């Protein structure tokens, strides 16, 4: 979530409405002015709360940099302290605007609780928001993401889908993802990524193929890993081998991470950004796939019998040790 850019856009649109019709050049100049000091343009409780959310997220990001070199016990203490502070920051935002969706979403996520408990709270929030604001309105562009004021609801919907998946509610995760993609087909929140994993767990090859085609077979770590898992679960080991080697060859560190899962902190509130094909992409995909990898206990053991896969994992490990 790029709260800073989003705040500038929100403030610029609201100030533009007050000023009356602005030319594209005039609006661009307004945005430049707002970006220099957004707080000067905050003049209602909604944007004041959103500003607090942005500050809270910036503090969390800074704290994660500070925690990198701590030992495990110190890390856990620092992490809990920063999450507790995030809850307090969200409460401050909600004191300004009790309806701030991002603050309410972050408050649930920061509790870092069992997925089923979190899902209940998120579904309640989702229902409250729909009752208060009505159905999500898709602008003329056909993509709700283009309306910056709809983005908090889209982030909430994406969090619901991921939490459904984490809580083994795979059919609900799939339907939540499909709804999100229909409302925001650009899918900048990556609902297709969660959806691919859910379809693999449901052993829905037709659905996975259709999803792949819808996004022009662009390929990503989630799709490669989902296809490998699906083919393995269907006992089509030749296809599974081709898919897992695609994952190993195209996704940096993918083979290594599958054999050596690495800790990833909770998303606050959405999936971190990554470059396609990067180690960060592989890290996030393996982390998110963990519920179905664990539910398919022979999968990693089988992959570890493939000499090419083992060589990719070992090669990455050796390179990391050498500081490449």
| pLDDT averaged per 10 residues in sequence order, the chain, 324 residues | 95 94 93 96 96 95 79 88 94 97 97 94 97 93 97 98 97 98 97 98 98 95 98 97 97 96 93 94 97 95 96 83 42
Cα 46 versus chain centre, distance: 24
Residue-level pLDDT at 69: 76
Residue 290 near residue 225, CB atoms below 8 Å: no
Q: What distance separates the 2 farthest-apart alpha carbons in the chain?
A: 67
**Tokens standing for residue 125:** 């929030």
- Rounded-to-10 torsion of CA 298, 304, 308, 312: 120
- Contact between 153 and 129 (Cβ < 8 Å): yes
Per the domain annotation, does 246 fall within a domain?
A: yes
Q: Within a domain: residue 234?
A: yes
pLDDT in the model for residue 319: 64
Matching residue, tokens 């007050």 = 18
In a domain, 210, yes or no: no
Judge contact between 115 and 162, C-beta under 8 A. Answer: no
Cβ contacts of 79-82, under 8 Å, gap ≥ 24: 79/265
**Reduced to 3 states, what is the DSSP secondary structure of residue 288?**
helix
Determine the structural domain holding residue 305 and report its residue range: 219-324
Please choose, from the candidates 239, 248, 253, 257, the residue with its C-alpha nearest in 3D space to the C-alpha of residue 293.
257
* 178: in domain: no
Report pLDDT for 324. Answer: 38
| Within a domain: 110 | no
Distance between CA atoms of 7 and 88, rounded to whole angstroms? 21
159 SS3 class: helix
Quick one: tokens of 128?
A: 């409250």
Query: What's the pLDDT score for residue 136?
Result: 92
**Does residue 100 form part of some domain?**
no
Residue 290 domain-assigned (yes or no): yes
| pLDDT, tens digit (0-9, with 9 covering 90-100), for 34-53 | 999 999 999 999 999 999 99
**Nearest Cα residue to 307 out of 224, 257, 244:** 244
Which pair of structure tokens corresponds to residue 66?
């500070």
- Residue 19 CA, distance from chain mean position: 36
How many domains, the chain?
A: 1
Q: Are 229 and 196 in contact (CB under 8 A)?
A: no
Q: What are the residue ranges of helices labelled H in 20-169? A: 24-36, 45-67, 72-96, 101-110, 115-133, 151-166
Give residue for tokens 């982390």: 287
Task: Give residue 20's pLDDT.
Answer: 87
Query: What's the rounded Cα separation, in Å, for the pair 301 and 307?
Result: 12
Look at residue 44 and tell me if it is in a domain: no
């Amino acid at each position: 979530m790029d709260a800073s850019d989003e705040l500038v856009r929100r403030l610029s649109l609201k100030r533009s409405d007050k000023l009356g019709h602005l030319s594209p050049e005039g609006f661009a100049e307004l945005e430049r002015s707002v970006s220099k000091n957004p707080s000067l343009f905050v003049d209602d409780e909604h944007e004041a709360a959103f500003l607090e959310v942005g500050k809270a997220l910036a503090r969390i990001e800074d704290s994660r940099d500070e925690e990198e070199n701590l030992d495990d016990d110190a890390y856990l203490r620092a992490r809990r302290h920063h999450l507790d502070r995030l809850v307090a920051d969200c409460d401050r935002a909600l004191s300004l605007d009790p309806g701030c969706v991002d603050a309410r979403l972050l408050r649930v996520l920061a509790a870092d609780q069992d997925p089923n408990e979190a899902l209940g709270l998120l579904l309640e929030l989702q229902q409250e928001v729909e009752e208060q604001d009505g159905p999500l309105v898709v602008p003329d562009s056909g993509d709700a993401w283009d309306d910056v004021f709809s983005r908090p609801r889209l982030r909430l919907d994406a969090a619901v889908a991921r939490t459904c998946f984490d809580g083994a509610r795979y059919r609900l995760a799939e339907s939540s993802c499909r709804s999100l993609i229909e409302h925001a087909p650009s899918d900048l929140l990556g609902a297709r990524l969660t959806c691919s994993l859910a379809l693999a767990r449901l052993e829905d090859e037709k659905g996975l193929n259709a999803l792949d085609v819808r996004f022009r077979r662009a390929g990503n770590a989630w799709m490669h890993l989902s296809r490998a898992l699906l083919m393995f679960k269907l006992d089509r080991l030749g296809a599974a081998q081709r898919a897992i080697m695609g994952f190993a060859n195209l996704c940096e560190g993918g083979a290594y991470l599958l054999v050596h899962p690495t800790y990833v902190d909770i998303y606050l509130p959405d999936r971190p950004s990554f470059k396609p094909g990067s180690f960060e992409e592989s890290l996030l995909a393996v982390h998110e796939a963990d519920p179905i990898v664990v539910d398919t206990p022979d999968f990693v053991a089988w992959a570890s019998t493939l000499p090419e896969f083992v060589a990719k994992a070992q090669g990455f490990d050796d390179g990391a040790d050498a500081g490449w």
